[in-house]
Amino acid sequence: MTGRLLSRGMIAGIAAALLAFVFARFFGEPQVNLAIAFESAKDLAAGEPPEPEIISRSIQASFGLLTAAVMYGAAYGGIFATIFAFAYGRVGRFSPRALSALLAAAAFVVFVLVPDLKYAPNPPAVGLPSTIGLRTGAYFGMIALSLCAAAASYMVSRPLIRRLGHWNGVLASLGVFIILVAAVQAGMPDINEVPTDFPATVLWRFREAALGMQIVLWATIGLLFGPLASRVLTAGADKPFARNG
């Protein structure tokens, strides 16, 4: 049962990644190409030789992007199904579909939106090679701290709901999450390595596309995993009462 549930998570993640790939191909790649053109023009003006192409641009923009998206989708699909497996029947009395949709929205906020608000996705030509260690550490650290803030606000939600009632208790625990995230983000180092002459429109469009890709991914996981999980959870003979999901 659990294994089948988790494999359904990875399947939903991979299917979501295919849609996210299509979105990124149409909306992300043009901005990546503009950023690379900016980088090449700068290198040329500075008299530096162009960067050697180990993997051609067309492979990077097709099979490379597809592979990265599928690995990412499978990974977060698995993590998502794990969270779902713990939450089902423990967090509220939601049906599999409703819980899947709610958890996907929460996972998008915790794993993507909060880290990206502090360390926004950057196109090629933005970012100094010398700070890659700091930037990678700060980014993964931000994801971990966002997850900790979510766990803390979930833990205080139970006593808050008992004191304030369901609606106000949930709102108050969301408020706790926002306060924790704001405090953590204020304490984390600021990183701004955008070249002064980098076109603002390309940066904005790139970040829109990156966020859009994640919204496509998480919306698909949330809406697809629900019915898949519903079938797994209600198929078992050991669940005589749960005939519908």
User: Which residues sit at the interface with other proteins, rule CB under 8 A?
Assistant: 1-3, 5-6, 9, 24, 28-29, 32, 54-55, 59-61, 63-65, 67-69, 71-72, 74-76, 78-79, 81-82, 85-86, 88-90, 93-96, 99, 112, 115-116, 119-124, 127, 129, 132-133, 135-137, 139-140, 206, 209-210, 213-214, 233, 239-244
Closest contact distance (angstroms) between CB of 205 and other proteins is 12
Residues 6+ apart with CB under 8 A from 202: 31, 34, 35, 38, 123
Closest contact distance (angstroms) between CB of 225 and other proteins is 14
Strand runs labelled E in 80-121: none
3 or 49, CB closer to other proteins? 3
Q: What angle do CA 57, 197, 47 make, to 5 degrees?
A: 60
Closest contact distance (angstroms) between CB of 119 and other proteins is 7
119 or 225, CB closer to other proteins? 119
Biggest CA-to-CA distance, the chain = 74
Closest contact distance (angstroms) between CB of 193 and other proteins is 10
Residues 6+ apart with CB under 8 A from 218: 16, 104, 105, 107, 108, 112
137 or 165, CB closer to other proteins? 137
What is the C-alpha to C-alpha distance for residues 21 and 72, in angstroms, rounded to an integer?
Answer: 11
42 with 32: CB under 8 angstroms?
no
170 with 114: CB under 8 angstroms?
no
What is the C-alpha to C-alpha distance for residues 203 and 201, in angstroms, rounded to an integer?
Answer: 5
Closest contact distance (angstroms) between CB of 175 and other proteins is 26
Helices 132-164 and 166-187: angle between axes, nearest 10 degrees:
160
Closest contact distance (angstroms) between CB of 57 and other proteins is 9
176 or 214, CB closer to other proteins? 214
136 or 168, CB closer to other proteins? 136
Measured from the Cβ of residue 196, the count of other Cβ atoms closer than 10 Å reads: 4
Closest contact distance (angstroms) between CB of 174 and other proteins is 23
95 or 170, CB closer to other proteins? 95
113 or 171, CB closer to other proteins? 113
DSSP letter assigned to residue 54: S
